[in-house]
Amino acid sequence: MAELVNRFSYSLSQGLQFRTCQRQYWFSRYGSWGGWEKDASPMAKEAYRLKKLTNRFLWTGNRVHETIRQALEIYRSGAKPDEKEVRNRLLEKLREDFRGSRDHPRKTPGTKSKVLLLEHEDPDSRIPDSQWKSVVDRAVSAIDGFFRSEALRVIQKTGYDAIIRNDDVLESMEATVEHRTFPVFVTIDVALRFPEGILILDWKTGKPDTSGSHAEQMGIYALFSEKEWNVGPESIRFSPVYLSYTPERLDISPATRDMLDRAMDNIRANAGAILEKIDDPEKGVARMERFSLTEDPGECRKCVYRILCPDNPLENGGGQNAGSALCNQPIQKGANP
C-alpha cells in the first residue's frame, strides 16, 4: 500500500482553527500526523490521541446531525419515523457515549468509533452534572425542533426526492493561491433541488450566530453549489435552522455574485496565510516554531494540545513542561487512517 502524504488542503474549520491559534492548527494538522503508527514519536502519538478527543458541544451536535440524517432517510424511503422512538434512540446513544467516555482509562487511546470527551480527560474542563443534563436536554430539544421545524415542512412540500445532499458526503472543490491548487473540503447538511435552483439548509444546535462565521460558511457552500451543480448565484438560496431556539423560523437568503467572490477571497487569504508557514505543502513538512501561539489565555486554556506545547505559559511556567521533551522527538510520517 502506497504511503499517503499530508498534502495541503483547506476547510472552513481549519481556517478558523488557524486564526484562533496557529500552534493549535500545527498540532492538529502536522504534529499529530502519523501518530497512529507503532513507531511514531511519543509526541505524535500523544497529539494524535488528543486530536481524537471531542467536547460536549461537538459531540451532541454530531449526534443530532446523525439522527436527523437517519430520520430524513426514513422519510425518503416512504415511511414516517416515530418521533418518540427517534428521540429516545438519541437519548440512549448519548447516555452510551457518556458512560463509555467516563469509564475509559485516562490518557489511553480509544477505538476509531469511540467517543472520548475532553471534559472527562482534562481536569480543567470538567463540568458538574447539572451542566451535562442541560447539554443533553438541548440535544433532545433540537430533535424535537427538527420535527416541528419550518425546514422540514419545506422539505416535505418540495418532496423528499428533491434532496440531493443529506449530510453524508465529504466533498471538495479546487482553489488556487499563487499557482498552487488545493482541495477545499465541504459537507452540506441538506441541499434541495427546487424549481428556482438550489436551497441549502444548515442545522444548528447552538445559539444564533453573531460572529459572522456562518456567513463565511454559507458563502463557501454557495461557491461549491455553483461549481457542483452549475447554477448561478441567483439560483442559490440558503438558511440556517436553529433547532433548539427558533425552528419555526426559516430565514431564506439569496446568494449573490459578491458573496461568492468574497468567499473565494477569504479562502485564498486564509489558505495563503497558512501556506506561508508551511515548508513543503506537497510533502507535509512544517516546523512547529513557525506557527505562533494565540495571545488569548482563554483560548490557550481550552486547547487540548496545551500539555504538549513547549511555549504554553499556562503549563509549568511555559517552555518547561512535559511537552518540551515530547516535542523534541522526531515526527513520524505515515498514512492517515
Structural domains in the chain? Answer: 10-41+293-327 (no CATH), 56-147 (no CATH), 160-275 (3.40.1350)
Tell me, what's the pLDDT at 1?
55
Q: Residue 316 pLDDT more than 50? A: no
Q: Residue 175 pLDDT more than 80? A: yes
Q: Which residue has the higher pLDDT, 1 or 3?
A: 3
Confidence grade of residue 301 (pLDDT, cut at 50, 70, 90): confident
Nearest-angstrom CA–CA distance, 114 and 80: 30
Q: Residue 183 pLDDT more than 80? A: yes
Residue written as cell 448519548?
94
Nearest-angstrom CA–CA distance, 168 and 69: 8
pLDDT digit string (tens) for 62-103? 999 999 999 999 999 999 999 999 999 999 999 999 999 999
Tell me, what's the pLDDT at 8?
97
Instruction: Return left, alpha or beta for 284; rule: phi > 0 is left, psi -120 to 50 is alpha, else beta.
Output: left
Could you give the 3-state DSSP secondary structure of residue 150? helix
Tell me, what's the pLDDT at 176?
97
CB 173 within 8 A of CB 228: yes
Tell me, what's the pLDDT at 312?
79
Confidence grade of residue 196 (pLDDT, cut at 50, 70, 90): confident
Tell me, what's the pLDDT at 214?
78
CB 138 within 8 A of CB 60: yes
Does the model's pTM come out above 0.85? yes
Could you give the 3-state DSSP secondary structure of residue 277? coil
Q: Which residue has the higher pLDDT, 211 or 38?
A: 38
E-strand stretches of 61-212: 163-165, 171-177, 180-186, 190-194, 197-204
Q: Residue 167 pLDDT more than 70? A: yes
Neighbours of 100 (CB within 10 A): 16
Mean pLDDT of the chain: 90
Tell me, what's the pLDDT at 103?
96
